[in-house]
Amino acid sequence: MPEPAAGTPIADLDTPALLIDLDILQSNIDHMAAFFRGKAAHLRPHVKSHKLPEVARLQVAAGAPGVCAAKVGEAEAMVDGGITDVLIANQVVGGAKILRLIDLAERARISVAVDNADNVAALSRAARDRSATIGVFVEVDVGMNRCGVDDAETALALSRQVADAKGLEFLGLMGYEGHITNIKDAAQRAEACRNSMAKVTAAAEYVRGHGVPVNDVTGGGTMSYDISGVYPGVTEIQAGSYALMDVNFRNMGLPAGRKEGSPFRCAMSLLTTVMSVPRRGVAIVDAGMKSITHEFGLPEVKDRPGITLARLSEEHARLDTSGGQAEALHTAGGQACGTLRLGDKIELLPSHGCTTVNLHDRAYATRNGRVEDIWEITARGKSQ
């Protein structure tokens, strides 16, 4: 298939196709950058949500010193795409992965998280053998029950080990409060965020108090940047979802301090085609869970009042078109059903942007309803 030329109307794209509205994207990036202007903490955007070097470059242009990634493969894609400073906000375990990390550290400023003494020793050996330097954050579990040490004493021991280890540079502590997204009430969510930040900043004070300098305390996300980003002692926020945004976070009114109404808008949508109008009140579009995810609820139909998404199969979505005036055009066995006709294009808004992006090889960057650029999602599937 020839690639669509710049200027192609969205409606002429083959489907399913992932669309990113450049004006909304830039507005989201600018809004977040403005929040951090003049603050003690800075933003280091997480690329796991968009997996696109192009978006990472826009975020760096807006003031970020670098980005976060979840995996070595994501970091490789970002360095290949011109990003020069990547924190892999995760543990890197295993000989093959650590070798790739060292390779990357010869091309960019690279840091990782640790929560285990043997892992620190392995990272140090590999870095020393190649005269490389890896930045290291000691991760503290602040409530997720995932990675991270549980207490300040263990954080101190690991921090000392890192500070003393050749090939490693001890940068500080990391504490990610991802568990608070499950809390629906905004005030309770904000309080849980403060509790998490209290734990990691107290651990940082404890480490400092024992003579190990802590430069940075990193954590936070789109759901809490307005709380964690002004919490005393927190210096870096790892928000990622805000750039493309999704229906789940938008509906929760995230960040943490807001009762409702997110300041960010959904920049990403999935373009689909009506492929069947089989009966009154039903239309089927040509995208399902292999193109858009639903672990955080069903996607939303964009800008089509009275039409809702009722069910996702693997390659189909069933729309309920019985709302409003949708019945008017039904003709059994023919082309039209409700207000939708065979071949009509429908946009769906993802409920979870991070996993939806991970299904697609490319995204169409659009402005005013036309394609402006085609972006290869080079970090897609890079889970190694």
CA distance 11 to 50: 23
Please select the residue that binds a second copy; options are 132, 157, 329, 374, rule is CB under 8 A: 157
For a second copy, the binding residue among 38, 118, 259, 303 (CB under 8 A) is 118
Out of 34, 40, 290, 368, point to the residue binding a second copy (CB under 8 A): 290
Q: To the nearest whole angstrom, how small is the minimum distance from the Cβ of residue 26 to a second copy?
A: 25
Calpha distance 108→82 (Å, rounded)? 9
Asked if 226 and 176 count as a contact pair (C-beta separation under 8 A), the reply is: no
CB closer to a second copy out of 160 and 370: 160
CB of 39 to a second copy, least distance (A): 27
Q: Which two tokens stand for residue 124?
A: 């140090």
Helix, strand, coil abundance in the chain, percent, nearest 5: 30, 25, 45
Residue 291 in contact with a second copy, rule: CB under 8 A: yes
- Conformation bin of residue 339: beta by default, left when phi > 0, alpha when psi is -120 to 50: alpha
> Per rule CB under 8 A, is residue 381 in the interface with a second copy?
yes
**Identity of the residue, 5 or 332, whose beta carbon is nearer to a second copy in the bound complex:** 332
Indicate the residue among 20 and 41 with the shorter CB distance to a second copy: 20
Residues in CB range of 309: below 8 A, 6 or more apart: 298, 299, 300, 301, 317, 318, 319, 320, 348
Span from 29-37, 165-173, 251-259, 289-297 in contact with a second copy (CB under 8 A): 289-297
Which whole-number Å values give the CA distances from 50 to 250, 289, 343, 375, 380, in the listed order? 16, 18, 29, 11, 9
- 239 touches a second copy (CB under 8 A): no
Q: Are 110 and 74 in contact (CB under 8 A)?
A: no
Radius of gyration in angstroms for the set of CA atoms belonging to the chain, rounded to a whole number: 23
Range list of H helices, 147-295: 152-164, 186-209, 225-228, 247-251
Q: At which residue do the structure tokens 């089989």 appear?
A: 278
Taking residue 140's Cβ as centre, other Cβ atoms within 10 Å add up to: 30
Residue among 80 and 315 whose Cβ is closer to a second copy: 315
Q: How far, CA to CA in Å, does 302 sit from each of 155, 346, 350?
A: 47, 7, 10
Residue 342 within binding range of a second copy, rule CB under 8 A = yes
The one segment of 20-28, 52-60, 85-93, 217-225 that binds a second copy by CB under 8 A? 85-93
* Residues 173-202 interacting with a second copy (rule: CB under 8 A): 178
Q: How far is the CB of 242 from a second copy (least distance, A)?
A: 16
Nearer to a second copy, 49 or 235 (CB): 49
Which member of 334, 368, 369, 373 binds a second copy (CB under 8 A)?
A: 334
Residue closer to a second copy by CB (options 88, 193) is 88
Q: Site residues (CB under 8 A) for a second copy?
A: 1, 14-17, 48, 70-71, 90-91, 93-94, 96-97, 100, 115-119, 141, 145-150, 154, 157-158, 178, 273-279, 282, 284, 286-287, 289-291, 293-295, 313-316, 318, 332-335, 342-343, 354-355, 358-361, 381, 383-384
